[in-house]
Amino acid sequence: MNNKAGNDVWARELLLCQLTANSSFVSAYLSLMCSWDSLWKGEENEVALSLKRCGYRFPNLKARFITKNRHLLPHIRDMVKPIADEDQGKAREYIVKNFIGFGYKEASHFLRNVGYFDLAIIDRHILSFLKTQGLSFNFKTMTKYRYLQMESVLRSISNALGIDLGILDLFIWFEETETVLK
């Protein structure tokens, strides 16, 4: 499990989740590998140029987020793991509050990638599934309240099935996309 890994693995996962927001996982992963050195060492404009060369969708915005968060990367595991081991919801709040460019989905995704399964990653695929099940949510933007409301619905389902919330949303995501990545 990645929650046993060191800061370097946690930092890689944080960068990956930062790049995955509003982009495909494949594009984010390829850009991460293609821009690895500049993500760690480059100035904001160098990171943006590297991401652009790799064909990444939002190079300037993500370069700004990455360079502003970079000072936290060497310590990410040491900062987040103790909180997540006690309360994954509090760890997500910590990430959203302290890491630029992270919302609930990105923070939940990061925690999942480092081995925590008690939070939902609510993306368009999960929303689509909920709609097909008659659980329609009529809103244009995702607020903290709405995210937590949908997560509560999914948590009720996972509890009824006797499975982790993270396993349920992974299964739904697979059903909607017919793929499993990472």
Flag whether 114 is in a domain: no
Res 121: pLDDT: 95
Residue among 49, 88, 90, 83 nearest 66 (CA): 49
- The total number of structural domains in the chain stands at 2
User: pTM score, two decimals?
Assistant: 0.92
Q: Are residues 65 and 133 in the same domain?
A: no
132 & 45 share domain? no
The reply to whether 10 and 90 lie within a common domain is yes
pLDDT band of residue 28 (cuts 50, 70, 90) is very high
The pLDDT score that the predictor gives to residue 68 is: 97
Residue 129 sits in which domain range? Answer: 124-177
Q: What mean pLDDT comes out for the span 146-167?
A: 95
Residue 108 falls within a domain, yes or no? no
Whether 152 and 82 map to the same domain: the answer is no
8 a catalytic residue? no
Residues 145 and 85 both lie in one domain: no
- Flag whether 118 is in a domain: no
Query: Is 92 found in the same domain as 40?
Result: yes
Q: Looking at 62, 81, 123, 169, which residue is catalytic?
A: 123
- Catalytic one of 62, 105, 118, 169: 105
Domain of 87, CATH number, reads 1.10.340.30
Task: Count Cβ atoms within 10 A of the Cβ of residue 96 and give its class: 0-12 exposed, 13-18 middle, 19 or more buried.
Answer: middle
Structure tokens of 67?
A: 């360079």
Residue 25 pLDDT greater than 80, yes or no: yes
Q: Is 25 exposed, middle or buried (0-12, 13-18, 19+ CB in 10 A)?
A: middle
pLDDT in tens, 69-119: 999 999 999 999 999 999 999 999 999 999 999 999 999 999 999 999 999
35, 94: one domain? yes
105 as an active site residue: the answer is: yes
Specify if 158 maps to a domain: yes
